[in-house]
Structure 1
Amino acid sequence: MEKQVYLIRHGIAIDRALSEEDATRPLTEKGRKKNEKVAKKLKDIGINFDIILTSPLLRATQTADILEKEGLTKTLETFSPLAPNGNIEDWLNWWEENAPETVALVGHEPNLGNWSELLIWGEIKGKLVVKKAGIIGLNCPQDLSPFGNSELFLLTSPKWLLSQ
């Protein structure tokens, strides 16, 4: 039995130079609108999450809120290991304890790409990049460690997803 993990990068945020603190950088209007379109498209194609875990940084929580408001989940939680430089082991411990069928992780680059590579290949290769508002989908085995044993089934930019 496999479970699905969707790694979703936050939308376009205001420039770092315009914010005193990285953690409080909000989505731009363009970023918010693009996330709303992506969320609607995900809903239209029948994607639903048992839970969304989000980085505590504002741009990620705003992205997760948009996904929740579109009806993609009934459960949304802030999860500090999704902040930049978070530890995948912390998520893995949570995942093994909670075992949802489908989970969305809303976070940042390079973490999301690196975590995906660890789950697929068991090592970071620096080859997978998640665009802003982009998504990676993985099938992760339930009966053994997902590290190096997961299968990529989706890697999409918002531009491609919205053109379908």
Structure 2
Amino acid sequence: MRKLTFGMNVSLDGYIAGPGGDLGWSVPSDELFQWWSDRVAATELSLYGRRLWEAMSSHWPTADQQPGVTPAEVEYARRWRDMPKVLFSSTVGTVDWNTRLCTGDAVPEITRLKAEDGGPMDIAGATLAAAAMRAGLIDEYVLVTAPVLVGGGTPFFTALDNWVNLDLVETRTFPDGLLLTRYQTRR
């Protein structure tokens, strides 16, 4: 059975994007960018919701061809393009960059993917992750908490019907006061 992880940069008050989708507070240091890039390299399959997919697919497929690109960005772009992805959307018509489109209910498909043999999966996008959270499908949560209060926006966690007990399995600090915490779901 595959492990499913939900990980994002998050503000101290719990948001992955500020009001209006503002991400200006979450620009990673070189060290944190490399950590996220290594995470992409270790992920066998990434599950995307539409909004995050549109943001990522509008930049990373050609990011390595832009002027002034860093070696780390070249590496991340390659890793992102090569990583198998599933996009869950009923409004996107076509996909590219090693991506499969799933237009049906996400929860049964994620359940099926988790039951397969294979390596780790990441889930990306607040709405998609919320559905998986409510269904009890997420095995691990990775939060990189920035020392900023944004006051609103897109929350990392959704409202749940039941408690989810977690075990802390890792902490790490990054430059500028960012704190990584990794939790496994207690089953």
Q: Which has the larger radius of gyration?
A: 2
Structure whose residues are more often strand by fraction: 2
Structure whose residues are more often helix by fraction: 1
TM-score band, normalised by shorter chain: 0.3 to 0.5
